[in-house]
Structure 1
Amino acid sequence: LTLAAVLGLSILLTACVAGTVPTDGTASDTSGSAAAVTPAQSDGTPTTSLGNMSTVSTMVIDRGLDEVGRACIDCHKEIQPGIIHDWRESRHGHVGVSCLDCHQVDKNSPMATQHENLIGTDIYMSALVPAATCGRCHVNEVDQFNASGHFRAYRQQIPKDSLHALVFKHEGQENSEFGSAPNETGCIQCHGTEIQLDAENRPVSTTWPNSGVGNVYPDGSTGSCAVCHTRHKFSIAEARQPAACASCHLGPDHPDIEIYENSKHGQIYAIEGDEWNWDAAPDAWEPGDYRAPTCATCHMSGIGELQTTHNVSERLYWNLWAERSEVRNSSDPLSPLLGDGEAGRDMMKQVCQACHSELHTNNFFEQGDRAVNLYNVAYYDEAKKMLDELGEKGLLEENPWTDDFQLIYYHLWHHEGRRARQGALMAGPDWAHWHGFFELQQDLYELEDIYNRRMETGQID
């Protein structure tokens, strides 16, 4: 054989092994799916990844979809190929869940619009897909979500006049044209909002798009599953990893991802996480698939006798984000104390004891509970007592955001206090101490100085 022939044979064998040139002359599907998904050229003939690197716009997809379902795919693969690529790789795509299954709505739905290519048909669509739509198939998951803090993420903000004043009056500077920007680009992107529609039933830009888990939709339903299982892949593996939670649970007021990264759990994940099994079935994802827990492991996953839950609050004992932490003991669906804290602690201990001894687990929670109680009685209660006394004597400014006492008080519970409490119960020592209790004692001393000065002089300085 000549050198050129040897090189040519080598290239051909390499291509066959890589799956780009099938040895039987047919188009190959290296995705692992049994569905008929074939790269094709514009004339419909098969191509290879060597001849055409596109894996979306040249894709012919036929998974038992009806004519309209296929039309959606054929059009959107040209206009938004990223959507079709995600869908093709998703579980939905592999079992034949089409665009219509999630986006089609009843003609009388307040969200109903009609695509220009569907005018004259009885098919109405909406860009909005609330959790209730997912609940047609995922009944238990949505029922559990509806009892969680995620469900209440926006609804609990509605009565908070002080928060609305901060966002619209102070941050937005009461600007009639642009004043809603802080809310649109900040708050609603995690908490959600009440989505508003224009005259053609399309969501308006002041409320959508957003990634808020507590969105309230025009049909009255609440919640978005795509916050954790991002569209259009809707991956269980994605939702199990800390990054899925990190886009909202971060920052000075609730640094959960930073606390996790500071913990031994986060240390192990950072070193080994790319080697773990993220795709196990629900209730089958157990230690061994991973060596340290993630957010989803502790708060959601089925371990031992525990079943998987989408109620992320169910295993919590305390409410750690409130001004003062109390044990969860309410039956009110909209209460931040909804649930049974004692039962929640028992469940969380079961999670811990999948890897730790009973002694280790019990001692850990005793440490954390002491930190929460210290915050409650030594910091919050003392600060609140001073706040109330100053208020009774008219020694607080009307605007809390320009009053040193009220601003420091807010930081004491909303920033430093949360960091101390959450750091203690998520095993993040730097956040419990230096970002938590160290700064709390500084806050308290400053509050005491301002309080004493105002009480002595009878004036706001």
Structure 2
Amino acid sequence: MRQLFFHLFPVIVFVLFGFRTVCSQEANEGSQSETTVQPSVQINDPCAQCHMRITPGIVVDWQLSKHSTNDVGCSSCHGDRHNSMTDPGNAGLAGPEVCAKCHGVQVEQFGKGKHALAWGAMKAMPTLHWQPVAQVEGLKGCGACHRVGLKTAGEVKDLIAKGSGFGVGSCDCCHTRHIFSVDEAKSPQACRTCHTGVESPEWEMYASSRHGVRFLLKQSRILPEDVAAPTCQSCHFPDGAHDNGTAWGGLGLRLPYPQDDQWASNRVTILQALGIFDPSGKPTPRLAAIETYKFMSFSEEDWKGEREKDLKSCNDCHSINFARAELDKGDQMIREADALMAEGIRIVAALYRDGLLKKPGNYSYDFPDLFSEHNAPTVIEQKLFTMFHDYRTKTFQGAFHCSPDYSFLRGWAPMQSSLVEIRERAAEIRAVAGKAAEHPAECPKR
């Protein structure tokens, strides 16, 4: 038997090696056929002929676009004032007003959606001017994602002068230039650049949900092409509409107050900590910005309108009763999260009330300000900020995005842990100050 094996061994090695070589060749041929696809559009545009030598990637993208086969050339979007290597600054930026010449419906819809408000919403943040210029105007931080919002002509000119280009035109944030692909913008990966990470992990929530898992399996061709697998766009941009919105807004808050008195009281406390209401419950100037940039819903009609859009999208795959019940669960997670959040705020507010925390110069009131964000002046307020902007967001958004991991383990559970830390830290502050612990601030009346 051993002699037979030794006689056959060279043959076995030869067969296996030959099979591997053939498979490798086939794989390489397949990969070459995908990567060596050449654009079929001939370059007759003088701009493209020049840029093929200088920035060929731009031209190849344009050749692969629908624009190239529909007589939309460089000058159609950038104008004809840039004619040589000495005047590149004369090339106009293709903003929404340019896109509207052909895509008027989409641009009009975009102007009514949340994305259009992103730039203004960022600029409304009280501590924005504390951030590094490269993060904001250089679009390396907040500005990198908020640039999708509409801007004035002056703002666009200023951003370009500082070296910013991509995304400043808004539409090309999702339809990346110069291919401007509809298929790209319809893929959930297009959302990932901005809707990811600590404070807005919608991509991670989606990818870990059954919706996302099924889509990624479909994209990998493990599941059939026709299988139901909702994307971000299925729910937030149904039928290709560009006026995206959400019922609860980015803050997970809304008016009018709920019928539940305790929940209403908790919501007042959160609104006070956001500086939307002052400590006595009166509206502040910050309220106007919150309403203008749709950080939250301000009427029952608006909230129900967005909720009906959600139900309609869910109803494509689920019964309306199932969909309504699931969304109701998300609402209840907001209610539960608000109870924890309000308790934490009241503990810190009591420290201000009793003079154990000193009001910072940029604060309007002796009260915690959640919009101070990462610039919160004390350790206990940093914990409060993280509890709100990170864990509370994951708690309710994880529920709405069908991700138990984010709703519970990365949201609700850390909220509880944070509250324990806030209680203990407050007790330490009082002990150091030599004062007996007092009751937290009373629950406000709505």
Q: TM-score, normalised by structure 2?
A: 0.70
Equivalent residue letter for 1:360: F
TM-fit CA distance, 1:344: 1.0
The structure 2 residue matched to 1:151, chosen from 102, 116, 120, is 116
Q: Secondary structure at the match of 2:253?
A: coil
Q: Secondary structure at the match of 1:248?
A: coil
1: CA distance between counterparts of 2:188 and 2:256? 25
* 2:209 alignment counterpart: 263
- Are positions 1:240 and 2:186 aligned together? yes
Q: Secondary structure at the match of 2:115?
A: coil
* 1:182 alignment counterpart: 135
**Aligned 1:22-41 pairs, distance under 5 A:** none
Change (3 A) 1:276 1:232: farther
* 1:230 alignment counterpart: 176
Q: Secondary structure at the match of 2:119?
A: coil
**Aligned 1:202-241 pairs, distance under 5 A:** 203-205=160-162, 208-211=164-167, 215=168, 224-241=170-187
2: CA distance between counterparts of 1:415 and 1:347? 26
* 1:309 alignment counterpart: 241
- Are positions 1:318 and 2:266 aligned together? no
Contact residue 317 and residue 328 of structure 1 kept, 8 A: no
TM-fit CA distance, 1:233: 0.7
Equivalent residue letter for 1:373: R
* 2:43 alignment counterpart: 61
1: CA distance between counterparts of 2:308 and 2:54? 51
Equivalent residue letter for 2:160: P
User: Per-residue CA shift, 1:310-369, capped at 9, x if unaligned?
Assistant: 0111xx2112x32x5226999954332368110111111111111111222122112111
Equivalent residue letter for 1:95: N
Whose relative contact order is higher, 1 or 2, with alpha carbons under 8 Å and at least 6 apart? 2
TM-fit CA distance, 1:100: 1.0
More helix by share: 2
TM-fit CA distance, 1:81: 1.4
Contact residue 197 and residue 203 of structure 1 kept, 8 A: no
User: Per-residue CA shift, 1:409-450, capped at 9, x if unaligned?
Assistant: 110011111111110100011000100001000011111112
- Are positions 1:409 and 2:384 aligned together? yes
- Are positions 1:364 and 2:318 aligned together? no
* 2:234 alignment counterpart: 297
Contact residue 248 and residue 297 of structure 2 kept, 8 A: no
Equivalent residue letter for 1:164: H
* 1:391 alignment counterpart: 352
TM-fit CA distance, 1:228: 0.6
TM-fit CA distance, 1:234: 0.8
1: CA distance between counterparts of 2:89 and 2:172? 21
- Are positions 1:162 and 2:127 aligned together? yes
Which ranges of structure 1 fall in alignment gaps of 5 or more residues?
1-17, 19-29, 32-48, 63-69, 106-112, 169-179, 216-222, 278-286, 303-307
Contact residue 41 and residue 68 of structure 2 kept, 8 A: no
* 2:91 alignment counterpart: 126
Change (3 A) 1:124 1:454: closer
TM-fit CA distance, 1:208: 0.8
Give me the CA root mean square deviation.
Answer: 3.6
Count matched residues. Answer: 351
Contact residue 328 and residue 341 of structure 1 kept, 8 A: no
Q: TM-score, normalised by structure 1?
A: 0.68
2: CA distance between counterparts of 1:332 and 1:209? 29
**Aligned 1:195-206 pairs, distance under 5 A:** 203-205=160-162
1: CA distance between counterparts of 2:144 and 2:434? 41
